[in-house]
Amino acid sequence: MKFMVLADIHGSMEKLDKAVEYARKEDIMSILLLGDLPSYGEFRDLDRNIEWCEKTLNKLEDFNLLAIPGNCDSPSIVDELDEREINLHKKIKVFDDTSLIGLGGSTATPYQTPFELGEGEIHENLDNLMKKTKTEKKILVVHQPPWNTRCDVTNVGVHAGSTAIRDIIEEYQPDLVVCSHIHESRGKDFIGETEIYNTGALLDGYFSTLDSGDLIVELQEFDEK
């Protein structure tokens, strides 16, 4: 199955409209949404936060959608995703012989964002999910990148990924990891045999495509960002 992978929209309806146009043009009817939907100026207002969530999801309602929350999303987004039957947070979805294993949120940030988790909680949730996964092919779908890769370096040179996510990857070696969160670290790296892709922020005109059967990710960008 082919997915368009979108993340870190941060209220940019203009970029989301471009993504919808691209998906329709390329006949991609499935979308993976990696969170961070509200605008930067309003994510702490939890009422406005969930309004941004609903507005974003409504624009994507014609697609087969799976979503996890980002750290800027309200915790109540999980109920919204469950109600729409598109939630991948703490869940496994199987397509043919490939499992998508999802966990949203991030570890603590300097910005006191609404959806932050401890490393222990991240490890426990992912460990439980990986133990339940039965398919040979495995794709880990997370908001935060693993620690100490090319995909988690901030603009001041600090690695801001999750050590728990890295530990899980080292132990279970999923085929692919798709993530976002650190906008400036869009790109690819490896942990062992596992390919790591930071898809980049849609806010900045970046996205990716994922072929879950052939395990191929292609980093993409709009011609005019």
- Give residue 217's pLDDT: 98
**CATH 3.90.1170.40, applies to 2-221:** no
Mean pLDDT of all residues belonging to the chain: 97
Residue ranges for the chain with pLDDT beneath 70: 225
- Give residue 210's pLDDT: 98
Range list of H helices, 1-73: 13-25, 46-59
Give the distance from CA 177 to its chain's centroid.
9
User: Rounded to the nearest 5°, which phi and psi values hold at 6?
Assistant: -120, 140
Pick the closest to residue 65 from 115, 25, 6, 13 (CA basis). 6
Give pLDDT tens digits for 64-83. 999 999 999 999 999 999 99
CA angle in degrees (0–180, nearest 5) for 192-196-202: 175
Handedness of CA 11, 76, 178, 156 (dihedral sign): positive
Integer Cα distance of 73 and 175 in angstroms:
27
- Give residue 225's pLDDT: 57
